[in-house]
């Protein structure tokens, strides 16, 4: 049956969502019209070896009625073409909707995106925060039935995860700091200097290493039940560390610190030069 074949293909897919996508979805939900119950939009990204990586998205205005759905498809294509000029590597990989469930209208919307790309992914984001969390689910529409009989389809859940680039991790860390900054006021945090970031990262690494060592010692003392997943992660971590002596590590670290200090010094000199140039321009024009 084609149902079994499609289910096997769906289970092999995996969705990785970047934080900027979640921020854009929440922002679109907050800016929705007063009469809109949910918001939908297009997912942009790449598909490689069964992994759908969602790196961008945009909102598509629509209205839902009891028996039909109205969406501004021309607007969606215009936005996609404009985005294509800036990010040529991003293609349509599916669509998203706010809420924690798949509705009857989802099949109609999914049918449109099936014409725009192969095997589109449907992502739902629970902006109502049921259970205190923003639930994130991913689906694919699986065809079912016999080849010569009546055909149907259903949404099948697939694995999903949140992934980040290094700059996104830095931005998320700054956003996390605003949660405890200036309670009751407009909360904002300025980016830290490079050396301060290095010092803070070193402190966090020391704390995490202490936690790992405490866990290993408790496992060896039979005080804690060992976890195979944690053990494999620790083994991968140990194997990823390059083998070098203390002298080699010190030389590498000092070299990187010198490069960092040189970049910081050059950036400060350029900044000072630009400020002087601006002031000289104002004096000559006066």
Per residue in 36-82, pLDDT (tens digit) is: 788 999 999 998 888 899 999 999 988 888 778 888 888 999 999 99
Give the per-residue pLDDT at 59. Answer: 92
Of 110, 142, 166, the last residue of a domain is 166
Query: Is the per-residue pLDDT at 4 higher than 60?
Result: no
Half-sphere exposure of residue 37: CA atoms within 13 angstroms, side-chain side: 9
Q: Work out how many domains the chain is built from and give that number.
A: 2
The per-residue pLDDT for 6 is 47
pLDDT of residue 1: 42
Domain boundary among 166, 186, 206: 166
| Arithmetic mean of pLDDT, 105-111 | 86
Q: Is the domain of 146 the same as that of 15?
A: yes
Task: Please report whether residue 82 resides in a domain.
Answer: yes
Q: What is the reported pLDDT for 184?
A: 55
Res. 201 pLDDT band, cuts 50 70 90: confident
For the chain, the average pLDDT equals 83
Judged against a pLDDT cut of 90, whether residue 35 lies above it is answered with no
Nearest to 43 by CA among 32, 28, 58: 58
What is the residue range of 276's domain?
244-286
Let me know whether 162 and 248 are in one domain. Answer: no
Q: Are residues 6 and 137 in the same domain?
A: yes
pLDDT of residue 145: 65
What is the band of 149 on the pLDDT scale with cuts at 50, 70, 90?
Answer: low
Question: Among 67-81, 93-107, 186-200, 265-279, whose mean pLDDT is lowest?
Answer: 186-200
Bigger pLDDT: 148 vs 137: 137
User: Among residues 96, 131, 166, which one ends one of the domains?
Assistant: 166
**Top mean-pLDDT range of 85-89, 190-194, 201-205:** 85-89
Q: What percent of the chain lies above the pLDDT cut of 70?
A: 87
Is residue 107 situated within a structural domain?
A: yes
Does 44 lie in the same domain as 149?
A: yes
Is 16 within 8 Å of 160 (Cβ atoms)? yes
Q: For residues 161 and 249, state if they share a domain.
A: no
- For residue 265, being part of any structural domain is answered with yes
pLDDT at 43: 94
Does one domain contain both 151 and 47?
yes
pLDDT at 146 (0 to 100): 66
pLDDT score of 93 more than 90: yes
Q: Does residue 245 carry a pLDDT above 90? A: no
């Amino acid at each position: 049956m084609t149902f079994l074949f499609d289910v096997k293909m769906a289970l092999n897919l995996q969705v990785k969502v970047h934080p900027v996508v979640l921020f854009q979805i929440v922002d679109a939900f907050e800016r929705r019209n007063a009469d809109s119950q949910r918001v939908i939009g297009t997912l942009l990204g790449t598909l490689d070896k069964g992994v759908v990586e969602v790196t961008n998205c945009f909102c598509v205005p629509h209205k839902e009625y009891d028996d039909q759905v109205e969406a501004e498809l021309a607007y969606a294509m215009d936005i996609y073409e404009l985005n294509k000029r800036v990010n040529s590597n991003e293609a349509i990989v599916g669509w998203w909707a706010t809420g924690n469930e798949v509705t009857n209208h989802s099949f109609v919307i999914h049918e449109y995106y099936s014409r725009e790309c192969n095997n589109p992914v449907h992502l739902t984001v629970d902006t109502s925060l049921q259970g205190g969390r923003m639930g994130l689910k991913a689906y694919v529409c699986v065809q079912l039935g016999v080849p010569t009989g009546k055909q149907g389809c259903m949404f099948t859940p697939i694995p999903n995860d949140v992934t980040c680039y290094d700059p996104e991790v830095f931005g998320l860390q700054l956003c996390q700091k605003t949660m405890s900054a200036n309670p009751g006021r407009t909360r904002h945090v300025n980016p830290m200097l490079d050396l301060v970031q290095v010092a803070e990262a070193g402190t966090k690494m020391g704390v995490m290493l202490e936690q790992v060592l405490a866990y290993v010692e408790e496992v060896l003392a039979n005080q804690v039940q060992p976890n195979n997943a944690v053990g494999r992660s620790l083994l991968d971590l140990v194997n990823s560390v390059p083998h070098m002596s203390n002298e080699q590590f010190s030389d590498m670290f000092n070299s990187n610190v010198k490069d960092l200090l040189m970049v910081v010094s050059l950036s400060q000199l350029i900044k000072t030069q630009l400020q002087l140039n601006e002031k000289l321009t104002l004096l000559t024009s006066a």
